[in-house]
Each structure stands twice: as C-alpha cells, then as structure tokens.
C-alpha cells in the first residue's frame, strides 16, 4: 500500500467550531497557509503538505464528507443528529464547542398543553424527543433566533443549543429539560478510510493527541 494517495481535504464548519478548531489543528501541526479573515480562496493549503482545508456552513459539512468532496470534516454533533445520511464514520470527539440541546419555555407547565408547538432548527431530534415521551408536537421550523418564538406567541417552547444559559435568561426563558450534550466531532468519508488509510489514521491520531491536550 505504499502508493496510496495521501492528499486529504478537511471540511470545517465556519463560526465558533472553526474558531475553536484552529488552536487544536495548530497543536496537530496544521496551520492555514492564508489569513482566514481576509482570504477569498475557498481551498486553503496548510503547513501540512498532505492536508488542505475548506470552510463551509455547518450543515454542509456532512454532505461534503458523505459524497467525497472532503475526506474529513469537523462539525457539531447537533448537525450530525439532524443529518439524514450516514455515509461517513464518526471516529473522534474533539470536545470543542461544547453545549447542550435543551427544551426551554417561559412556562414550566407547558408540557401539559394538548398539542405542543415547538420552534426549532432541529426538527428531527425534536420530533423524536417528544415522541419518546408520548407527546404530540407541531414543529415550527426556524433557522435562527429560536428564543424569540415563545416571546411572540409563535411557539409554546423551543429546542435549541444552550451554553452558558445567558441567552435564555436574557429573554425570560427557563431551561426545562436537557436532551443531549453536544461537542464537535471528526467525521471521515468511508472510501477515504480504505483508499487513504495510513495518512487518515495518522491525522486522526494527531488530532486525538491535540484534543487530549498537553499531558
Ligand atoms: O448560521 P449558524 O448559526 O447555523 O452557524 P454559524 O456559522 O453562526 O456557526 P456558530 O458559530 O453559531 O456555531 C454553530 C455550532 O457551534 C453549532 O452547530 C454547535 O455545534 C456549536 N455551538 C456550541 C453552539 C453553541 N455552543 C451555542 N451556544 N452554537 C450555537 N450556540 C448559540 C445558541 O443557539 C444560543 O442562541 O448561542 C446561544 C446560546 O449561548 P448561551 O451561552 O447564551 O447559552
Ligand atoms: Mg450562529
């Protein structure tokens, strides 16, 4: 297997995951070859000759990796839980960008309502969560600022990511239930794991060491 291809493309979710991934990648010897705040290039070479990166919307990371547009991806577990396909492996928890998916409401008694209106970006997780509790829900799909929905009477509760809880508090919402803990994960294209095995396993080990931090 000495002639395995060795070039890897790493897709990273823009925003806070990218921000938290940068120091971790640096510890793994991967430093972007361009200033990410300034460059208009979409494919960015790195200090590791075998690794280049692409920075895309979180919800696009699994798509790139499943279809081989990228060999590996770094993306939140929240995005993976909502993604329909499963055409990739999820070998590593980087433990960055930690938060939780939670139910929040103005009224802690909201669950007694006959048909709950739940505003969320996370329709699949939400439907499953309330179905397991035997509760009928009407999902109101939003793409941002979920916290606003109960305040204007659009929903009885929300399912959203919570970190410090400051956003909920600032809007008079209570965290009534935690659904699951969320961190950023590394995903790997299934074919890459076979055809670029050595270089991929090597990169995963470096990332794992970086994630575990200085001993
Ligand atoms: O456009 P979109 O918001 O989808 O993406 P983005 O490019 O703005 O990315 P960004 O920076 O929002 O990052 C999204 C990813 O970061 C998520 O997929 C999570 O995996 C992870 N993450 C970790 C978070 C949070 N923590 C978090 N607190 N994503 C969002 N938040 C939001 C939350 O939705 C709420 O509005 O921050 C607010 C709550 O924060 P606290 O600290 O007030 O509780
Ligand atoms: Mg955001």
Q: Calculate the CA 19 to chain-centre distance.
A: 13
H-run or E-run covering 205: helix 197-212
- Total domains in the chain come to 2
Q: Whose CA is nearest to atom 29 of ligand 1?
A: 161
Considering the domain architecture, whether residues 198 and 177 belong to the same structural domain is answered as no
Considering the domain architecture, whether residues 121 and 56 belong to the same structural domain is answered as no
Q: What is the pLDDT of residues 133-161, one digit of tens each?
A: 999 899 999 999 999 999 999 999 999 99
Q: Is the CB of 99 under 6 A from ligand 1?
A: yes
Q: What is the pLDDT of residues 29-72, one digit of tens each?
A: 999 999 999 999 999 999 999 999 999 999 999 999 999 999 99
For residue 143, the ligand closest to its alpha carbon is 1
Residue 1 lies in a domain: no
Q: In what order do the strands lie in the sheet with 99-105?
A: 137-141, 116-120, 157-162, 99-105, 174-182
Considering the domain architecture, whether residues 93 and 108 belong to the same structural domain is answered as no
**Residue of 15, 19, 59, 98 with the most ligand 1 atoms within 8 Å of its CB, for mutation:** 15
Query: Which pLDDT value is given to residue 215?
Result: 55
Q: Is the CB of 76 under 6 A from ligand 1?
A: yes
Ligand 1 atom with minimal separation from the 16 CA: 11
Q: Which residue range(s) make up the domain with 34? A: 8-97+183-212
Residues 6+ apart with CB under 8 A from 48: 29, 30
Q: Whose CA is nearest to atom 6 of ligand 1?
A: 15
Give the distance (Å) from ligand 2 centre to CA of residue 14: 9
CATH number reported for the structural domain that contains residue 156 in this entry: 3.40.190.10
Q: What is the pLDDT of residues 180-206, one digit of tens each?
A: 999 999 999 999 999 999 999 999 999
Query: Which pLDDT value is given to residue 67?
Result: 97
């Amino acid at each position: 297997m000495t002639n395995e291809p060795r070039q890897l493309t790493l897709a990273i979710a823009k925003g806070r995951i990218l921000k938290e991934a940068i120091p971790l990648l640096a510890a793994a010897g991967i430093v972007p070859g361009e200033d990410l705040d300034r460059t208009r290039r979409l494919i960015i070479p790195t200090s590791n000759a075998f690794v280049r990166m692409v920075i895309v919307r979180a919800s696009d990371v699994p798509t790139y990796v499943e279809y081989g547009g990228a060999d590996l991806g770094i993306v939140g577990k929240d995005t993976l839980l909502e993604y329909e396909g499963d055409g990739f492996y999820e070998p590593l928890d980087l433990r960055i960008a930690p938060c939780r998916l939670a139910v929040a409401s103005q009224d802690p008694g909201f669950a007694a309502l006959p048909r709950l209106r739940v505003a969320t970006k996370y329709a699949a997780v939400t439907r499953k969560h309330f179905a397991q509790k035997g509760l009928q829900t009407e999902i109101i799909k939003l793409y941002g600022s979920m916290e606003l929905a109960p305040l204007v009477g659009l929903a009885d509760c929300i399912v959203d990511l919570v970190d410090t809880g400051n956003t909920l508090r600032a809007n008079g919402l209570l965290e009534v239930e935690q659904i699951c803990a969320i961190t950023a994960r590394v995903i790997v294209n299934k074919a890459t794991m076979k055809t670029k095995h050595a270089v991929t396993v090597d990169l995963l080990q470096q990332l794992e060491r970086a994630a575990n931090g200085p001993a």
